[in-house]
Amino acid sequence: MNVLGIETSCDETSAAVVRLGRTVLSNVVASQIEQHRPYGGVVPEIASRSHVRVLPGVIAEAIARANTTWAQIDAIAVTYGPGLASSLLVGLSMAKGLALAVRKPLCAVNHLQAHVYSPFLTPGTPSIEEVCPCIALVVSGGHTCLLRVESPDRACLLGQTIDDAAGEAFDKGASLLNLGYPGGPAMDRLGKIGDPASVAFPRARAPRAGSRMEGLAADLCFSFSGLKTALLYHLKAHPIPDGDAARLADVVASYQEAIVDVLLDRTEKAMTGHHTLLVGGGVSLNSRLRARLQAYAASAGIRLLLAEARFCGDNAAMIAGLAGNGQGLWGADALRVDAEPNLPVAPVGGR
């Protein structure tokens, strides 16, 4: 079964063809970073207009690169949330229209559940059925959450950020350091050469109760907004002299380490009693996070399934993969569904 996936939840326009939920035949990603860079963040109006402009060509290219024809496409899968309303609508309307026009079944997919599925797109990885129950960490620009994946069809939310996402912490920190947008990749590069112990940035303790924590264990939730403030005050007290690249790298490495420490701490707690950890989302590209996760997995005897670099950021292969594995909303349910900007990843569940 070949599924055509379509992803337009934020600022990447992507289409992919995936066979049987596992074999990626094509994965075309058109990035809009250059269009948003002058504004230091994603501008929703620019994002949706750009999706409208490039999506038809991206879909045609995904089908061509997969060496398939429309006749060989068995279903169309699309992200319906969470994300930017106007961006989601472009992909969803296109997918609904295509499904009706070419008479293929439609599947509507939760973007965050697709990030959870992304490690299974790598050849040789066991199937999701084989590793459940397991824990998943999703770290992206908009979300940071820990899930218990009971079965391919059932997951529950164990913890999430109560303020900024890990990617936002990277991007806002980078902006304070004038490293440009998006900040994650620049922080990663500089962090490699700095000393992570040079500045003692705070590691947020278990946050106080708040509406985003309802039903969740405090020690599995994240808070990153205080870290960004700590960086602001640090820079006021100790400005980095112009051209002092070594000092800049030290501050970046220390700031990055504070984010990675907190991600590791919560993940290790969530892993109690579990043997497999899935990790996906744009921030899982971070080399320090990947190295720390690998070291933890090796020392704790845990099977770590990290999404491959090309499947970490937003991409349609993970959407087509999840649908091809039988998940998502199908048929009339999918045709009826609306864009859901605040779609939760999964119901809240206890440990």
Beta carbons within 8 Å of 77's beta carbon, 6+ residues apart: 3, 4, 5, 6, 95, 106, 107, 108, 109, 319, 320, 322, 323, 324, 328
Hey, how many other C-beta atoms are within 10 angstroms of the C-beta on 236? 8
Quote the CA–CA distance of 30 and 84 in Å, as a whole number.
Answer: 17
Q: Residue 226 binds what, of ligand KG4, Zn ion, none (CB under 5 to 8 Å, by partner type)?
A: none
Among the candidate windows 55-63, 136-144, 152-160, 240-248, which touches Zn ion by CB under 5 A?
136-144
Quote the CA–CA distance of 246 and 10 in Å, as a whole number.
Answer: 34
Closest distance of CB 264 from Zn ion, Å:
21
Of 10, 190, 317, 343, the residue at the interface with ligand KG4 (CB under 6 A) is 10
170 in contact with ligand KG4 (CB under 6 A): yes
Q: How many CA atoms lie within 13 A of 322 on its CB side?
A: 33
Q: Which of residues 138-157 bind Zn ion (CB under 5 A)?
A: 140
Q: Residues 155, 12: contact at Cβ < 8 Å? A: no
Q: Which of residues 300-319 bind Zn ion (CB under 5 A)?
A: 314
Quote the CA–CA distance of 228 and 174 in Å, as a whole number.
Answer: 10
182 in contact with ligand KG4 (CB under 6 A): yes
Closest distance of CB 181 from ligand KG4, Å:
8
Given the complex with ligand KG4, which of 221 and 318 has the nearer CB atom? 318
Strand 276-280 with 303-306, pairing: parallel
12 in contact with Zn ion (CB under 5 A): no
8 in contact with Zn ion (CB under 5 A): no
Of 40, 44, 185, 344, the residue at the interface with ligand KG4 (CB under 6 A) is 185
Residue 231 CB burial class (10 angstroms; 0-12, 13-18, ≥19) = buried
Contact residues: ligand KG4, CB under 6 A: 10, 140-142, 167, 170-171, 182-185, 187-188, 281-283, 285-286, 313-314
- Footprint on this chain of Zn ion (rule: CB under 5 A): 140, 314
